[in-house]
Structure 1
Amino acid sequence: MRGGVVLHKRKVVDILGVTSILTVITSIIFFYIQRGPNADIYFGITILSILSIVGILSAIFSWLMSKRHILLIIALLGNGFVLVFTFFLLLAMGISEP
């Protein structure tokens, strides 16, 4: 096949696995960058939850294609922690509203 992109299953699994870990790292970096009194907290909550859900989905797809358990566990724990943290942040914002 000339000119087409052919991705092998192993390469797709590696890309999905790295993506699932990168979403955790990106979420942590975004959290520390987007701080201060003028920060839009609801924008941060939205971005963190989207990154976490994308990371969880890519970890599950990577696991379904390769059956490597260690990557699934690390990615699910990291992204799950970010998602729970985001939920608590949203809960705290709801409680603090007048």
Structure 2
Amino acid sequence: MDKRKVGNILGITSILPVIISIIVFYVRRGPNTDIYFIINIFGILSIIGILFAMFSWKMSRQLILLIVGLIGNVFVLAVAFLLLLAMGISEP
């Protein structure tokens, strides 16, 4: 496979952690949910997605895959940070 095709595949897989994070959010909700588990999942998936977006841009030089992957994964990382901040504020 050439570098451009591998870059396109990595670009599409950089969007996959955002979709998985949305699915985890809707499946693992409720009053008895371990919120720290969800924060860890969001953080790990978003960092993996950001890395995939960077590698896809390096391989294929398509800016749209980089922008979509980065915006989606940075949004998930921001949500994880705000959840962690809220959990820190709520505990005495």
- Report the TM range for the smaller structure's normalisation: over 0.9
Q: 2:17 touches 2:46 (CA, 8 Å); kept in 1?
A: yes
Give the counterpart letter for 1:35 in structure 2.
R
Alignment of 1:1-98 (within 5 A): 7-98=1-92
Q: 2:18 touches 2:49 (CA, 8 Å); kept in 1?
A: yes
Figure out how many residues of one structure are paired with residues of the other and give that number: 92
Q: Structure 2: how far apart are the matches of 1:67 and 1:11?
A: 11
Structure 1, gaps ≥5 residues long: 1-6
Q: CA RMSD in A?
A: 1.0
What percent of counterpart residues are identical?
Answer: 67
- Stretches of 4+ aligned residues off by more than 3 angstroms: none
Taking structure 1 as the reference length, what is the TM-score of the superposition? 0.89
Higher relative contact order (CA 8 A, sep 6+): 2
Q: Secondary structure at the match of 1:52?
A: helix
- Structure with the greater alpha carbon radius of gyration: 1
Taking structure 2 as the reference length, what is the TM-score of the superposition? 0.94
Structure 2, gaps ≥5 residues long: none
Render the CA deviation track for 1:34-93: whole Å, top value 9, x for unaligned.
100111000000001000000000000000111100110011000000000110000000
